[in-house]
Amino acid sequence: GESVGLHLPTLSVQEGDNSIINCAYSNSASDYFIWYKQESGKGPQFIIDIRSNMDKRQGQRVTVLLNKTVKHLSLQIAATQPGDSAVYFCAETHSGNTPLVFGKGTRLSVIA
Amino acid sequence: NAGVMQNPRHLVRRRGQEARLRCSPMKGHSHVYWYRQLPEEGLKFMVYLQKENIIDESGMPKERFSAEFPKEGPSILRIQQVVRGDSAAYFCASSIAGVGTDTQYFGPGTRLTVL
C-alpha cells in the first residue's frame, strides 16, 4: 500500500479476511512509530504504536510489524469488518523531540 | 474524559480575512501540535507548543501564520490575510509528554475554506 503520485492507494478486502497495510518510513533514526486510522471527516485515531526495540506488537485484532533493516512497517488487521473502512496512516518520529512525520496513507475498503 | 476539542469545525473566510482556529488539549496534556492536511494527503506538521512556549515551528510558514498556547485557555492557530491555498483541514493533537515520548491524540479538525 505505498503512495503513488497524489492519489491514495486503495486496498479492497472481503469482510472477514485479514488486511495488511504497508508503510516505508524515511528516517533510519526514527525510533517510535504509530498507526492512525482516519475516517471521512474525522481526525486521526490512534490504533497502535511500536518502539524500535521491538519488531512486533499486538493489540486487539491488530498487529504491527517493524523491520528496521529495510525501514518497513506494516499493520495487520484480523477479520476485517466494515467499520475498519478508513484511511490508514503510519507516522514516525525520533524520541529526540522531532515532529511526527506522516506517510501518505492507504485507503482500506471492506467489501461486505 | 473529553478528548481534544477543536472549534470551529468548519470555517469559511474570504481572501484577505483572518482565520482563528482553537484547540483545547485533553485534560492533563500540556503539549499541543498543529498539523495541516490537504485532500488525499497525509498530515504535515506545522508547530509544536507547550504552555506559553513555542518549541518547534519548523513546519509553519514564516508569514501570515502564528500560533500560541497561553497559560490559560486554548491554543490558537492564527492565519492572517488568508489565500485560497490555505484551504485545508487543520488538526490539533495533544500529548502528556513531548514528541517521541508519548502518543499524540488528535482532535476532529477545523476545515477551512477560503473563497
Q: Kindly write down the DSSP assignment for every residue of A46-97, as one continuous string.
A: EEEEEETT-SEEE-SSEEEEEETTTTEEEEEESS--GGG-EEEEEEEE-TTT
Cα–Cα distance, A30 to A51 (Å, whole number): 9
CA-based nearest residue in chain B for residue A88 = B42
A45 forms bridges with which residues in the sheet?
A37
Contact B30, B50 (CB under 8 A): yes
How high is the pLDDT of residue A26? Answer: 84
pLDDT at B74 over 90: yes
Q: Do B99 and A36 touch (CB under 8 A)?
A: no
B84: left (phi > 0), else alpha (psi -120 to 50), else beta? alpha
Cα–Cα distance, B86 to A71 (Å, whole number): 33
Residues 27-66 of B with CB under 8 A from A: 33, 35, 40-45, 48, 55-56, 58-59
pLDDT, greater one: A7 or A70:
A70
Residue B85 three-state SS: helix
| Per-residue cell: A19 | 488486511
How high is the pLDDT of residue A96? Answer: 59
What is the average per-residue pLDDT within B6-22?
98
Which of the four pLDDT bands, split at 50, 70 and 90, describes residue A2? very low
pLDDT at B100 over 70: no
Inform me whether the C-beta atom of residue A98 falls under 8 Å from chain B C-beta atoms.
Answer: yes
Work out the mean pLDDT of chain A and round it to a whole number. Answer: 89
Measured between CB atoms, which of B56, B100, B106 is closest to A94?
A: B100
B105: left (phi > 0), else alpha (psi -120 to 50), else beta? beta
How high is the pLDDT of residue B96? Answer: 86
pLDDT, greater one: A46 or A6:
A46
How high is the pLDDT of residue A5? Answer: 38
Inform me whether the C-beta atom of residue A101 falls under 8 Å from chain B C-beta atoms.
Answer: yes
How high is the pLDDT of residue B35? Answer: 96
pLDDT at A1 over 50: no
What is the average per-residue pLDDT within A74-100?
90
Q: Do B91 and A46 touch (CB under 8 A)?
A: no
Burial of A31 (0-12, 13-18, 19+ CB in 10 A): middle
Name every chain B residue with its beta carbon within 8 A of the beta carbon of A105.
41-42
pLDDT at A3 over 50: no
> In chain B, what percentage of residues exceed pLDDT 70?
96
Inform me whether the C-beta atom of residue A95 falls under 8 Å from chain B C-beta atoms.
Answer: yes
Q: Residue A97, Cβ neighbours under 10 Å: how many?
A: 13
Residues A54-70 have pLDDT tens digits of 999 999 999 999 999 99
Which of the four pLDDT bands, split at 50, 70 and 90, describes residue A97? low
Look up cell 517521541; give the residue: B100
Name every chain A residue with its beta carbon within 8 A of the beta carbon of B103.
34, 46, 49
Residue B83 three-state SS: coil
What is the average per-residue pLDDT within B71-77?
94
Q: Do A100 and B45 touch (CB under 8 A)?
A: yes
Name every chain A residue with its beta carbon within 8 A of the beta carbon of B58.
99
Contacts of A112 (CB under 8 A, 6+ apart): A15, A82
Listing DSSP states for A24-46 in one string gives E-S-TT--EEEEEEE-TTS--EE
